[in-house]
Amino acid sequence: MRVRRPLLQAACVLASLAASCERPGAELEALERARARASSAECLLIAPEGLELRRLEHLAAALERRTGGAARFAPLRPPHTPPREQWIADPRSSGIGRFAQLNGIVFEPGGGAFWFGGERFAERGDGLRLCAPDPDQPAKLIELFLAPTADGAAELVHRLDPPEQAGWTHVRGGLVVADSLRPGLVRTAEPTPVDGSGMRWRVAADAPPAAVAEYRAAWDAARLWAEQRLVGLVSGPASHEVWLWSDLDAFANATGACELSVSGLAVAQSHVLLAGDGLDDGAAQLASAWACAFRGVPLEEWAASALGTLAAQKWCGAPLDVALELAADASQDLDAVLRPPARASQHRFGPLRALALELALEGLEPAAAQRLWREGGLEARIAPARFAQEVERLAALGAARRAARRVECVSRLGDARGVHLYAPADRAGERGLGYGSRACFEALRKLAAAGANCVAFEPRAYESGGVDGALLHAPREPFATSASDAALLLAMRQARGLGLSVVLAPQLWASPSGPSATARQHFDAAQWSSALENLEAALTHYGLLAELGGAQVLCVAERSLGAARAELPEPSSSSWARVVRAARASFGGALTYLAQFDGESHLYPGWDELDLVSVALVRDISAPQLEGRAPDDRELAALLRSEIRAVMRWAQALGRPVWLAHLGFAPTTHNWLDPRVAQGGYDTQQQARMFSALRSAWEAARADGGAPQGLLVWNWSTDAEHGNALDRSFTLQNRPAQELLEALLRRP
């Protein structure tokens, strides 16, 4: 497939404000770049003549459905270029000399080797990603993917949306070895080579032997299925390398991705995360890559991933039949699965694409399947009515599965004691503090040892705007996010392994700079409706993820009273009732809403549709008789006890379990005035006094039978050093209040 093609509709993410490039006037240049990108939806990808483009076209198609942009492929840079530009090149490519010279790239004469930053790039799997200003338009960034061969450079491309920041990434042997945006990047010992199954296997030293054996057996089964249904009898490509990692931190550092599996940054390379206890992709990525190696990339974009899922009979660690039941929904017709809308969850259309491929391959001999794979026609073999019938059957099974699990989860809502586990911003993985990391597991272990039986995870997703970081692989989630799905699945698995039930409380924010999408001011009914549509899509996605991860509770929103009570246009494409129905249709556990006890809890209209009442204490708890003075310990306990009584009196009519959640106090002198903010001077002893008063109030409420059924403290961090400096964050860690945690979590 040649470069000279008609205009290809593809996607380029509309950018938010770019980050600083660490040069004079960087903030102004970042703003100019953002405006330039926003002015045009066109992206130009310059690639050498003759380079195979089908995989890149699939990347473009996947992004097109999310953003609706347009991409143009060209072998040479035209005189007039759009604000978004990416280059794929080797040292022999024309038109890159000036850009290379200005950025310190030196080419060796007569060969494919080049130098950058004092290092030589000449071997298979070596490469450089460089993002720097256009020499002719300094307000514009150009992203260059450079390798000794053009094919090798193309393997580095896993996204078609140019980044927001200038920087570079060094790749050696298909592994990320250095990154300007991750100066603290630490490489662990590389997996060692082992023999077997027609592949070049590399296995991490600490990978559990049982997990490795299980995965290799899964690959044997997936390969056999692919041979019988599509590929035919072949010998495996000995050049294909499979890297098996046992640790998400090491996996992310080496690949620039936080997933269960990804194709490598070098030709014929795959990376797989073996998290243990069956949480892996079942060899889906490897089966897809293996089929493409022998039969080429399929013409139809959806077919390659569908083949991997179908061959593996697994999705995100769950058996495919279970994932299909969870994903099936009557609204999912064939077109919505093969060409999903922008905010669609891959946990819905991913498994259903495997079903579509299974129907397409029915009755086909491998030779005929190979022809349709290369030339197109697989979709044409799927009868929409037959597909709809199967989806309807699976949806009924999924509804029954969710109903049974809801009964079980609701019955276990009482006597919950836990903590909101906060993961500090660490998108680039420099500090290893994200959900699913070693630091996360250690934090969970300490919480379990302290007596917690429940933990709440609060990932942030964003309606718009990118997330800073140097990850080379595009996130697979429908929203930009602070935590990948794979990281959250692993965190949920870690928690459950320690005996902790899981609350997933995703927060949909307008952008990385906030505020939350439903808390910010909207100026007309249409804007409120749009915000609720996005919330509905986010809850569908995170509901499916929570179901796959075995969470017990899903929090649909918090501090969203404005959106809940907004007067929407008639007819409206969304409503608060639709939001809750979407969550119920994707998640089988208990649903809750986190309301502030300052009037929001009383005005929120949807408690009857939920299973659990969650309330955050945010009112000023001072009393008139204090006459403005600070309350003493006894008075604090009495005031908090009065608040707990008020919550229980109000909630009695709702007839549902009650949790106090997001319950925390800042380390400041006047933290009782408004628990939501840090008022006054820094004072960790005052924070401890508040938690001590809370313990006394809670014990008194429990003694007279008026205590809520659950308590979630705000907060604990995956950063073990958090709270040991003069910061005003709410964490208990490394502060006097930490000593009170066990008493707060103690159950009768």
> Domain range holding 134?
26-173
Half-sphere exposure of 556 (CA within 13 A, CB side): 35
Neighbours of 214 (CB within 10 A): 16
446 and 588 both lie in a single domain: yes
Burial group, residue 6, by CB count within 10 angstroms (0-12, 13-18, 19+): exposed
d(C-alpha 420, C-alpha 60), whole Å: 38
> Which domain-ending residue is among 281, 296, 311?
296
Main-chain phi, psi angles of 119, to 5 degrees: -120, 150
119 and 233 both lie in a single domain: no
667 and 543 both lie in a single domain: yes
- What pLDDT was estimated at residue 78? 87
Side chain identity at residue 661, one-letter code: A
CB 359 within 8 A of CB 381: yes
522 and 668 both lie in a single domain: yes
Q: Which is nearest to 743 in space by CA: 695, 710, 708, 698? A: 695
137: tokens are 């338009």
CA dist 736 to 447, 475, 723, Å? 16, 39, 10
Q: Is residue 386 part of a domain?
A: yes
CATH code of the domain covering residue 80: 3.30.379
In angstroms and rounded to an integer, the radius of gyration of the C-alpha atoms of the chain is 27
- What pLDDT was estimated at residue 470? 64
257 and 320 both lie in a single domain: no
The domain tally of the chain equals 4
- What pLDDT was estimated at residue 575? 76
CB 506 within 8 A of CB 542: yes
Mean pLDDT by 10 residues, the chain (748 residues): 32 28 39 44 86 91 76 86 89 92 93 93 95 91 95 93 84 92 71 70 89 93 94 72 91 90 93 90 95 93 97 97 96 93 94 98 95 97 97 97 96 94 72 87 96 96 72 83 92 96 94 76 75 91 98 93 67 75 96 92 90 92 76 91 94 95 93 84 94 94 91 94 84 94 87
Q: Is residue 633 part of a domain?
A: no
159 and 206 both lie in a single domain: no
> Which domain-ending residue is among 123, 138, 173?
173
CB 6 within 8 A of CB 55: no
464: tokens are 């718009």
225 and 121 both lie in a single domain: no
Q: Is residue 651 part of a domain?
A: no
- What pLDDT was estimated at residue 315? 98
- What pLDDT was estimated at residue 726? 74
> Which domain-ending residue is among 173, 198, 213?
173
Eight-state DSSP code of residue 14: P
Q: Is residue 593 part of a domain?
A: yes
pTM: 0.91
205 and 121 both lie in a single domain: no
d(C-alpha 325, C-alpha 347), whole Å: 11
448 and 548 both lie in a single domain: yes
The SS3 of residue 169 is strand
Main-chain phi, psi angles of 660, to 5 degrees: -90, 120
- What pLDDT was estimated at residue 429? 56
Q: Which is nearest to 175 in space by CA: 253, 59, 258, 246? A: 253
- What pLDDT was estimated at residue 468? 59
Q: Is residue 7 part of a domain?
A: no
237 and 330 both lie in a single domain: no
- What pLDDT was estimated at residue 160? 83
- What pLDDT was estimated at residue 431? 63
611 and 567 both lie in a single domain: yes
Q: Is residue 429 part of a domain?
A: yes
d(C-alpha 129, C-alpha 475), whole Å: 18
CB 559 within 8 A of CB 519: yes
355 and 317 both lie in a single domain: yes
Spell out the residues 6+ positions from residue 569 whose beta carbon is closer than 8 angstroms to its own.
525, 526, 529
pLDDT tens digits, 121-150 = 999 999 999 999 999 888 889 999 999 999
Q: Is residue 626 part of a domain?
A: no
Q: Is residue 264 part of a domain?
A: yes
CATH code of the domain covering residue 442: 3.20.20.80
Eight-state DSSP code of residue 149: S
pLDDT tens digits, 657-697 = 999 999 999 999 998 888 888 888 999 999 999 999 999 99
